[in-house]
Amino acid sequence: MGRGARARVSLSAKTARGAEAATVEAMYHMALSGEWLKVLRLASTYGERIISKGYVERFASVLELVEASEPETTHEYKGISYLLKGEVQMVMGRWDRALAELKKAAALAEAEKKELMSARANLMIGSIETRRGGRDQALTRLQKALKIASGL
């Protein structure tokens, strides 16, 4: 049984019980096996939960591995990838890196008319700007997020 198959078995057996660590581990092995789309699908489904449960650094390494190797066929997940990488960097206190990723997510979401992603990216950018003391930039982003979210 190959690495990817073992990762799928591990994932299916453990995700039902909320095992975020197992999910990240499975994603890592899938990435090593070149199963980029599967990793990105899992990241888009479980990414927020993984981050909220504190598996930030390991999840960041999986996202970096995918980013370094992913083919162009994964374009449909590019926005969520930027968003999750931005959130990971934000949680880690790397605000400049977080802003760079979140701004890419917001721009792509706006270009592709993905309102929810755009609202989330703008909300996070506004949150970072608030913490940094950039009141005007924060207000602009937070108002934008609210306007988009109100239309959903």
Does an H or E element contain 131, and which? helix 115-132
3-35: per-residue pLDDT in tens?
555 555 555 545 445 579 999 999 999 998 989
Please give the C-alpha separations between residue 114 and each of 77, 110, 118, in angstroms, as whole numbers.
Answer: 12, 6, 6
42-68: per-residue pLDDT in tens?
999 999 999 999 999 999 999 988 888
pTM (2 decimals)? Answer: 0.80
